[in-house]
Amino acid sequence: MTRRDSTPASTPETTSATTGSTRRKISGRLVAMDGLRFGAAAAVLLYHFTATSTVTGYWGADPANAFPLLNEITRYGWLGVELFFMISGFVILLSADGRGIAGFVASRVGRLFPAYWACIVLTAGLQQVWSGGRQTNLTETVVNLTMVQDLFDVTGVQVVFWTLLVELKFYLLVLVVLAFGPLTRNRVLTFATLWPLAGWAAEEFGAHWLADWLVPAYAPYFAVGMLLFLAYRDGFDVVTSLLLAGGLVLCVMRVLEAAGRASDLQGVPVNPVITVMILLASVVAVWATTLRGRTAPPRRVAAVLGTVGALTYPVYLVHTQFGYAVIDVLAHETTRTVALFAAGALSLGLAVAIHYGVERPTSARLRRVVQAGLRRCSGALRSRGLMRAWDDVRT
């Protein structure tokens, strides 16, 4: 899950905002949102380790019986994915605002792929020594490198990879909006309104191919995040507030549907009232993280939150298969609590290794290479008059 960037892979950045005829600078990382993202990842991790029925065989008992008290809380951890998508709706627009298409694409490629590729390589190695998890052959593993394996009905090497395709579809829609110009207030309002409604219509009228691309089950969460971004950048007004209220209604409808599926998957009841309360609290939490966004937080706090924010994406990527392997090996050799902490510790340790060993040395370089390549392509198209023709259509 992402997710998150929101794939669970979103990082708030400094940007400029254009609002009608005015322009102002939004400065400073939203470090509190980094902490919130890590909290969402921790919720998903605990859900996978102590709530989903997938882990029953590894613990040798139903998770609700293995962790009777903890499970009462972690059975709602799947809502971390919905929170990721809301955060992504916010921070991806924050990242794209003031950027061109080449800059936006390059930033996403540099952010998503280094850790993702490292996770695939590590998981392929795990498959050679542990046969208890997902098994993919060489061809399937190579297809996974594209991040769009689900389009080819190829199993993701990690359970959470499906959320990354949802994120990519969101990015594609953002690119369509950017193709028409900067992220003005009206463009964002139109995007945040039409996307969930179009997805719902495609679903209702059986346009399955279109619904697959518009991801109606998750579009409202992204839309709410986008509207919160607009409120952060431009301030609340009547239209934004009304659309946000409508988006929340759609989110509640979707999360209640998901709660039913979660109950079936876990084999334990998921309380719909608690589910909605967590969802609404998540929205409030996203907005609350922006309240100090224009002022510098204490240096130590910023450092800690920045670090955990950087580890969120790799933790999210690696935790299922590696965590399951640890649980499978240790659950019958030691206490379940020790096995649970060991699974979490390995996930965090791998995330640290991926971030400092792969992401930091390569992400910026990959971003520059991609951006330079896209600019060369753009220049070639302009020299043939293709981009000028699009500019004429757009204006």
Give the pLDDT confidence of 173-192 residue by residue, as tens digits.
999 999 999 999 999 999 99
Contact in structure between 209 and 74 (CB atoms under 8 Å): no
**Per-residue confidence (pLDDT) for residue 296, from 0 to 100:** 61
Check residue 357 and report its DSSP letter. I
User: Total structural domains in the chain?
Assistant: 1
Residue 51: the pLDDT is: 95
Between helices 101-129 and 162-179, what is the axis angle to 10°? 170
- Which domain range does residue 195 map to? 15-394
CB 230 within 8 A of CB 240: yes
pLDDT digit string (tens) for 221-269?
A: 999 999 999 999 999 999 999 999 999 999 999 999 999 999 988 889 9
Residue 1 lies in a domain: no
pTM: 0.89
5 within a domain of the structure (yes/no): no
Which of 271, 252, 245 has the alpha carbon at shortest distance from 260? 271
Residue 310 belongs to a domain = yes
Q: Are 98 and 16 in contact (CB under 8 A)?
A: yes
With a pLDDT cut of 90, the percent of the chain lying above it is 78
